Amino acid sequence: MTKRIRKAVFPVAGLGTRFLPATKSIPKEMLTIVDRPVLQHVVDEAREAGIEHFIFVTGRNKAVIEDHFDIAFELEETLQKRGKLKELQGLTDLLPAAGAASFTRQQEPLGLGHAVWCAREIVGDEPFAVLLPDMVTQAAAGKGGRCLAQCIEAYEKHGGNIIAAEEVPMEETHQYGIISIGKDFGPTFEITGMVEKPPKGMAPSNLMISGRYILGPEIFPILEKGEKGAGGEIQLTDGMIALSKTQAFHGVRFDGKTFDCGSKLGFLSANVAFALANPEVAAPFKAELKKVLGAL
Ligand code: G1P
């Protein structure tokens, strides 16, 4: 019997240098995909998967993230007075319940492993999810949930630790964590090895770690050691390699699409894909897109 996954950690302390000047005063997680911040899409994915407590590991200059997940009293009162009830409902639907969002700070940019470790007191002694907000997932048309829901399904089946993976072109493997696979169960598989940002030509496969994890709390004492890996940072992947010596790790092939919104290209294609899936704008946007593409 596996324990229920109730808590999710969102590491949101990154500087967003790839999106300057847009991210000079706005956190990169607050850039919009269609009508909501990137981070809102990722939090929605967690909520749909049954997550009840949202833990944000923030940094300096990220205060608006906290405001986004709070009541905006003056705004909501004005919407109410003006009878804009649909807009008001849209805000209240997305609001975490009182006490269901926690914020802690990563004081120094020491790496993803360090960011996750910063959440240890709030997570406590139970398995938890991690969602990297750069990676935005979209369910396959007409079936299944988003990536975290599929990870939780795999966790309920296999127990232990779960990592979502996705194929990338071999020439891009040096930008990601890469896994090697053992016994294949179809949508899930055994993970036999992991490496963070392998040098070009050295990746054991083209399966990248795509930013959704279910981890046991035993990862925390490992991360606490603060051992540095690729790029001189405390890497989550290295912590997972150490944990895999004593606990099982399974991979999930997400049946859907993942957009790496940490890159301009991924961010732009996410906007196109989410607009085309949004009933409010899909049809007129398609017509606009055709015009723009026709002019090329
Ligand atoms: C992080 C992880 C890496 C993963 C990637 C997905 O890297 O360390 O394993 O593949 O996210 O985006 P980062 O993008 O923070 O360099």
Closest protein CA for atom 15 of ligand 1: 112
pLDDT at 75 exceeding the cut of 80: yes
In a domain, 146, yes or no: yes
- Measure Cα distances from 77 to 85, 92, 228 in Å: 11, 12, 49
89: CA distance to ligand 1 center in Å? 35
30: CA distance to ligand 1 center in Å? 19
Beta carbon of 243 within 6 Å of any ligand 1 atom: no
- CA 176 to ligand 1: nearest atom: 10
Beta carbon of 234 within 6 Å of any ligand 1 atom: no
- CA 134 to ligand 1: nearest atom: 12
pLDDT at 185 exceeding the cut of 90: no
Q: What is the mean pLDDT of the chain?
A: 94
Task: State yes or no: cis peptide before 21, omega within 30 of 0.
Answer: yes
What three-state secondary structure class fits 176? coil
Determine the average pLDDT of the residues in 98-123.
Answer: 96
Closest protein CA for atom 3 of ligand 1: 177
In a domain, 234, yes or no: yes
Beta carbon of 241 within 6 Å of any ligand 1 atom: no
| Residue 42 pLDDT grade (very low, low, confident, very high; cuts 50, 70, 90) | very high
In a domain, 76, yes or no: yes
Alpha-helix residue ranges (DSSP H) falling in 13-146: 38-48, 63-68, 73-81, 85-94, 112-117, 120-123
Residue 16 φ/ψ region, left for φ over 0, alpha for ψ in the -120 to 50 degree band, beta for the rest = left
What's the pLDDT at 14?
87
Closest CA to 158 of 180, 196, 127: 127
What's the pLDDT at 189?
94
Integer Cα distance of 135 and 262 in angstroms: 7
Integer Cα distance of 73 and 95 in angstroms: 13
Beta carbon of 251 within 6 Å of any ligand 1 atom: no
- CA 135 to ligand 1: nearest atom: 12
196: CA distance to ligand 1 center in Å? 8
Please give the biggest Cα pair distance in the chain: 61
What's the pLDDT at 171?
94
In a domain, 216, yes or no: yes
pLDDT at 13 exceeding the cut of 90: yes
176: CA distance to ligand 1 center in Å? 5
Tallying the residues shown for the chain, one arrives at: 296
pLDDT at 150 exceeding the cut of 80: yes
177: CA distance to ligand 1 center in Å? 6
β-bridge pairing 161-167 and 32-33: unpaired
pLDDT at 17 exceeding the cut of 90: no
Domain total for the chain? Answer: 1
What's the pLDDT at 296?
81
Beta carbon of 163 within 6 Å of any ligand 1 atom: no
196-210 pLDDT per residue, tens: 999 999 999 999 999
Integer Cα distance of 188 and 185 in angstroms: 5
- Domain holding 119, by residue range, is 7-295
211 near 134, Cβ under 8 Å?
yes
Closest CA to 174 of 204, 136, 147, 132: 204
What's the pLDDT at 192?
95
Determine the average pLDDT of the residues in 208-233.
Answer: 96
Beta carbon of 131 within 6 Å of any ligand 1 atom: no
In a domain, 169, yes or no: yes
**pTM for the predicted model, two decimal places:** 0.95
**What is the DSSP secondary structure assignment for residue 10, as one 8-state letter?**
E
| Percent of the chain clearing pLDDT 70 (strictly above) | 100
In a domain, 2, yes or no: no
pLDDT at 1 exceeding the cut of 80: no
Between 226 and 161, residue with greater pLDDT: 161
Counting Cβ atoms within 10 Å, is residue 183 exposed (0-12), middle (13-18) or buried (19+)? exposed
Beta carbon of 173 within 6 Å of any ligand 1 atom: no
Find the CATH number of the domain harbouring 158.
3.90.550.10
φ, ψ at 107 (rounded to 5°): -75, -30
| Residue 138 pLDDT grade (very low, low, confident, very high; cuts 50, 70, 90) | very high
| Residue 169 pLDDT grade (very low, low, confident, very high; cuts 50, 70, 90) | very high
In a domain, 193, yes or no: yes
pLDDT at 41 exceeding the cut of 90: yes
In a domain, 1, yes or no: no
